[in-house]
Amino acid sequence: MTATIRRIATRPIRVPLTRPWGPDVRDLSLVEVVVEDSDGAMGYAFSWTPTIGAAAVRAHLDHDIAAFAVGRVAEASTLWEPLWLHLHEGGGGGITTIAMAGLDLALWDLAARRAGAGITDHLGRRHETATVYGSGVNLHYPLDELVAQAARWVAAGFEAVKVKVGSPNLARDLERIAAVREVIGPVRRLMIDANQRWSLDEAERAIGELAAFDLAWIEEPLRADDLAGHVELRRRVEVPIALGENLYTQYRFAEFIDAGAVDLVQPNIVRVGGITPFLGIAGLAAERRVELAPHLLLELSAQLALALPGEHLVESVEDASFEALGALSAPAPVVVDGDRVRTTGQTGLGIRFSEPRADAAASADPMEEP
């Protein structure tokens, strides 16, 4: 008899950042999700939002998602579409898919743990290692700190790095990217990320000048959902355009790809709704011959990249992995060696959080493993 979902429990977790991402971004907000099936098997996962919406995500899981999912088959890929159809009247993406990811990931963890395998091997391993690139949320860093960070990336062995741009004064961006290029040398790949800070004309001008530093891609140059703007920008500039961390469904990724707006897609596994839709987006990108590089969440992104055909860059934000932040209660499921990342043999997702990170105001603790 097929197991069904018996219970879903959540717990808020706050993880202080070692290096703040800005004056108002000093910690990460997580919602730990634990699912139990009718056979008593457990799955452990999380939802994630850096600063905004964690309470709403948890409420969505505790109420609307639990009310729909409990009693249904405990199988992630079977449940995802009907759950999304049930919820999307309240929004097709954002809080909806971020909350859905908590349950989807927990069900995948449960399935892999039942099989006695890590998620990479449960999905079907394609690679032993993947390439990692150095990244940082560093637009607010003084120039000397940015240069020091670039030097650390070189010392660590990274062959590709990414730096934030989008300063109010373009001259500041030019100075900073010139300094980084000098530190990393002419061979390493250099990517830049504007985090939606430019208008179309501003982006054309900035990219035109920054292109002198041999850029591998420009990430989120415009407002993330500006499809027409990205199509036009791609027509105007030669630097490849990357985006996707703020797109929420396979349907939106298909629109951007098919419109010719993007050269490389960057789905965030939590924001798109979990592993189930991520695999669909990866398949779409492969079919359309568009590159894919997962966004953030090193411990999760690396494991999935190793189960995809082809080579995919994995982002490693300095001092921002769950392990580096001291948030894990067990060894991390991946380890970075130079610019390569590999799995460590943990079963399931291999991501379990430390008890002291729980918010003391939590009204419900996750279920204990029997």
Catalytic positions: 164, 295
> Packing angle between helix 200-210 and helix 170-184, nearest 10 degrees?
30
Sign of CA dihedral 86, 268, 11, 91: negative
CB 213 within 8 A of CB 187: no
Cα 251 to its chain centre, rounded Å, is 18
Selection from 211, 207, 261, 199 nearest residue 232 by Cα: 261
Contacts of 256 by beta carbon, 8 Å cutoff, 6+ apart? 227, 230, 243, 244, 247, 262, 265
User: Are β-strands 314-317 and 27-37 bridged in parallel, bridged antiparallel, or unpaired?
Assistant: unpaired
Torsion of CA 243, 245, 251, 253, to 10 degrees: 20
Distance CA 299, CA 48 (A): 13
7, β-bridge pairs: 36
Distance CA 202, CA 186 (A): 26
E runs forming strands in 215-345 = 215-219, 241-243, 264-265, 291-292, 314-317, 334-337, 340-343
**Pair of tokens at residue 83:** 């759950």
Contacts of 65 by beta carbon, 8 Å cutoff, 6+ apart? 8, 83, 87, 99, 100, 102, 103
**Pair of tokens at residue 110:** 């449960």
Looking up tokens 């706050």 gives 14
| Gap between the terminal Cα atoms of the chain | 21
Torsion of CA 281, 7, 99, 118, to 10 degrees: -40
